[in-house]
Structure 1
Amino acid sequence: MRIRGTIGAWPVDLTLELDGQDWASLRAALAAGTPMAPGPEAVPEQVSSGENTDALWQGCLQVLREAGQLEGTALLATLTALAGSAAAGKRLLVRLRHDSRVRVQHAGDTPVFHWLG
């Protein structure tokens, strides 16, 4: 999957490589009813629902656990798809940065997230 565009003034050319297990995880998340692009009325419900937040967090941890390590931009794209919005994906990414089971290594301009367990 290739994503091209810009974030502000920065050009973005992102390639995501998903293996069979990654696609299966994404399909399972979608089948569970995780919206890909919620309307404005869905965002407050996602944020306020403790059960949904816990499910998103567990899904977030599972993504990194299964991958072992992911580059920050690829991880953000995956979390955005999982959470259904860019804002929710960014919140999950920030939460991962501060989790004791995750180590963030800065390699050049992009951080790499490592699962420690």
Structure 2
Amino acid sequence: MLRIRGTVGAVPVDLTVELDDSDWARLGSAMSGQLPTEQPQSAAAPAAKPMNQDDTLWQVAQDLLRKAGQLSGPDLLDQLQGLTGSATAGKRLLVRLRHSSQVKVASGGDTPLYSWVE
């Protein structure tokens, strides 16, 4: 079971997702870019790799903005898409950065400006 709590804007969110062993295996395969070959021995094995991979991408995304200092939304999204190899995954990281307490988003005319806050 996976529980997600937080807010979307001012709206509180509390979501529970239940997955069985085969669902975790498919999710792990999809996140690592591999096709499933056989059922894993335990549910912990497929869940561990995607979480580690996601955490690694999150750290790299933060480092990217930290080193740049400030990037426009389109430039940051292009770099995140290149990092992940997926438009969807790049957008997820962009949203996660937008809601991070270490990132300030300001209006930069037509595009938002993402700045790293120390």
TM range (shorter): 0.5 to 0.7
Tell me the secondary structure at the aligned position of residue 56 of structure 1.
helix
Aligned length: 77
Give the deviation of 1:84 after TM superposition.
1.1
Unaligned runs of 5+ in 2: 1-26, 34-46
Q: What is the distance in 1 between the residues matched to 2:108 and 2:29?
A: 33
Please list, as runs of the form range in 1=range in 2, the aligned pairs for 1:1-117 lying within 5 A after superposition.
44-46=30-32, 49-117=50-118
Question: TM-score with structure 1 length normalisation?
Answer: 0.61
Q: What is the distance in 2 between the residues matched to 1:43 and 1:63?
A: 26
Name the % identity: 48
Moved over 4 A (4+): none
CA shift digits 1:42-68 (9 cap, x unpaired):
982249600000000000000000000
Question: TM-score with structure 2 length normalisation?
Answer: 0.60
- More relative contact order, 1 or 2 (CA 8 Å, 6+ apart): 1
Unaligned runs of 5+ in 1: 1-40
Of structures 1 and 2, the larger Rg is shown by 2
